[in-house]
Amino acid sequence: MMALQRLFNNLATSKLNTPKLLSNFVPRCSYGLNNVGSDDPDVEIIEKKIVEEKTSLAMRAYLQRATQYNSFMQQQTHEYNVGKRHLANMMGVDPETFTQSDIDVAIDYLFPSGLYDPKARPLMKPPSEVFPSKKDAEFDESGRPFHVFFYTGKPNFYLILHNIATKLSELNKFEDSLRKNNILPDPDKKLTSLGSQWLSKEDLEKLTVEKLSDHEYKNFVIAIERLLKHPCSYKYGEFISDYQKPMISTKAIIESAPVEYTKDGRAFVTVKDCPRKDARADVTVYYPGTGKLSINGKGIEFFDDIQAREQILFPLLFTDMVDKVDIHATVRGGGVSGKAGAIRFGISWSLRSFVDPETVERMRIAGLLQKDYRRRERKKPGQARARRKFTWKKR
């Protein structure tokens, strides 16, 4: 936006825009096209003139596109606002206090879709959320790019890499200067990547508004990881954290399920539809108990397979609750190990309510509280099985 404003100012005063290419200044791109079709008539006239006189072909095409896009967005916004008033009227509510969340509720009521994916259901959203943003102009009216890295094709991405590299060399210098004075970089301040992960490829693409290849993304990760591992990396902690996001929170795992009580005062937790492969299990754990187990009305003999029995035992043994709880499970679908795995997950998931937080953490590390999403791999066409290829001989 800044860049464009500047462009218009320059155009108005008929001066050539000379970006400070020599310095490290590169405008960090702002996303979305704004204010290209200005409302001010004077500006428009001058603009048109100069556009015709001096601007390059690319710039003219760009301006045309931008005006088109803006008017389109304006129209869409207008439609949305009118639609919102209509909807408020339909639902018999005051349109002034009608918010987006009210719209969502109303649409859900008027168009009850049974589609599984919420994304596929009908919606009414402001156009800014619906239409993807577009990149601003990257060059001036004479066709000269603003960005130093314009000719790399992916200026924003390479800017990031460039910044990482400069920071790294600065850190090296800094470290040298420290060592000259016989000071060692503070090991306590050292940054770690614990609890956070790098932005995913999609996130990075969104940030740069550029399409990246896998290879480029890998380069980015290698570069930023090298910066992180530098002993003095704490100097640029903020810069690094711009490209990090927190890891999947373990909070949901550690928070225990709500406890209910039977008539005789025993606590119990029910977990429904515990998944593993094709099996689904409903598990109820009663506490305190005496180690009774019932699976579909049978005891442990429900499973002939010793491995399946061991799986049922695993969480109980791990938490030392073998004879302290009663378990009631119903399981359907799947095979033997699937059934056992589903029950195992149900037991461990409900045991969280009856053990101390440290044990819950231990269970998490032991992999008891993670759903096992692995499924049978499909057979592929042109192959004998999932991975196996047909026998092939060259001659």
Partner 1 sequence: MRAYRRLCGYATAAVKQETQYQIPTAARTEKKNPVDHDSQDVSKFYTIDPKTVSNIFQTGGLPKPFTEQTNMFAETALMIRQPALEVINSLKSTDFQKPAVRYLLYGQTGSGKSLSLAHILHYAYSSKFILYHIPYVPIWLKYDRKEVNWSSSKNGMADIPLIAAQWLKHFVHQNGALLNELNLTTSQDYVWSQRETTPQGTTLNELVTHGINRAKYACDCMDILLNELKAHCSNNRCKMLVAIDGFNAFFNEKTDLKTEDRVKVTPQQITMVQTGLSAVLSDWNNGAIIMVTSPRAALNTKRESHLPIYLIGRQGFEHIDPFIPVMVPELSTVEFNNMLDYYEEKRWLQKPGGRKELEFLTSKLPADLMARCAPL
Partner 2 sequence: MALFAKYLRIGSTVKHGFQAFPQLTTAKYSVYPPHFAEPVYKKQELDKLYESGEIENYKLIPFKAAKSNETCSIFHDPMVAKFINYMLLKGQKKLAREVLEKTFEKIKKLQLEKYNRETDPEKKASMIIDPVVILKKAVANSKPLLKLTAVKRGGSFYQVPVPITDKESTFYAMRWFVQCGREKDKSISFADFMATELIKASNNDGKVVNKKLDLHKQCEANRAYAHYRWS
Partner 3 sequence: MSALQTTLRRTTAVLMPIGYYPARVWCSTRAAPTDGKFRVLDLKKKSFVPHAKKKYIKTITLPPRALSMPVDQEWSNVWPGPRTFHPATVPLALRQGYDPKRASPGKYGNAELMKIPNFLHITPPAVKKHCSALKQFCTEWPKGLETDEDCDRHFPMTTITTDYCHSSPTIKDPKSRIVTIKIKLSTLNLDKHARDKMIRLVGDRYDEESDILTIVTDRCPTRKQNYDYGVYVLTALYHESNTFEEWERQKQEADMEHYIWENNPSKKAYVTLTRWPEKVSDDDVKSHSIDEDTVGQKYKEAVTELLNNGEDTYTLNKYREAALAVLLPQTIQA
- Binding interface with partner 2 (CB under 8 A): 193-195, 197, 218, 221, 225, 247-248, 250, 305-307, 310-311, 313-314, 317-318, 337, 340-341, 345, 361-362, 364-368, 370-375, 377
92 binds, among partner 2, partner 3, partner 1, none (CB under 5 to 8 A by kind): partner 3
Contact positions with partner 3 (CB under 8 A) in 318-377: none
Q: Is 90 in the site for partner 3 (CB under 8 A)?
A: yes
Q: Is 309 in the site for partner 1 (CB under 8 A)?
A: yes
Binding region for partner 3 (CB under 8 A) out of 81-89, 231-239, 242-250, 330-338: 81-89
Q: Select from 317, 367, 370, 371 the one that contacts partner 1 (CB under 8 A).
A: 317
Q: Is 125 in the site for partner 3 (CB under 8 A)?
A: yes
- Tell me the closest approach of the beta carbon of residue 142 to partner 3, in angstroms: 33
Q: How far apart are CA 309 and CA 370, in angstroms?
A: 20
Residue type, 97: T
323 binds, among partner 2, partner 3, partner 1, none (CB under 5 to 8 A by kind): partner 1
Contacts of the segment 207-211: beta carbons below 8 A, 24+ positions apart: 207/156, 208/154, 208/156, 208/157, 208/160, 209/29, 209/31, 209/133, 209/135, 209/156, 210/154, 210/155, 210/156, 210/157, 211/154
Contact 346, 357 (CB under 8 A): no
Residue 39 region by backbone torsions, left for phi larger than 0, else alpha for psi between -120 and 50, else beta: alpha
Contact positions with partner 3 (CB under 8 A) in 130-149: 130-132
Please give the DSSP secondary-structure letter assigned to residue 265: S
**Dihedral sign of CA atoms 43, 48, 49, 51 in order:** positive
Token code pair at residue 278 = 């094709």
Token code pair at residue 365 = 């590390």
291 binds, among partner 3, partner 1, partner 2, none (CB under 5 to 8 A by kind): partner 1
* Packed helices 214-229 and 201-208: angle between N→C axes, nearest 10 degrees: 90
- Tell me the closest approach of the beta carbon of residue 109 to partner 2, in angstroms: 37
Q: Is 41 in the site for partner 3 (CB under 8 A)?
A: no
According to DSSP, the β-strands at 260-261 and 244-246 are unpaired
Q: Select from 117, 176, 264, 358 the one that contacts partner 3 (CB under 8 A).
A: 117
Q: Is 114 in the site for partner 3 (CB under 8 A)?
A: yes
Q: Select from 288, 291, 357, 367 the one that contacts partner 1 (CB under 8 A).
A: 291
Q: Which residues contact 389 (CB under 8 A, 6 or more apart)?
A: 383
Contacting positions for partner 1 (CB under 8 A): 291, 293, 299-301, 306, 309-310, 313, 316-317, 322-323
Contacting positions for partner 3 (CB under 8 A): 76, 79-80, 82-87, 89-92, 95, 107, 109-115, 117, 119-125, 130-132
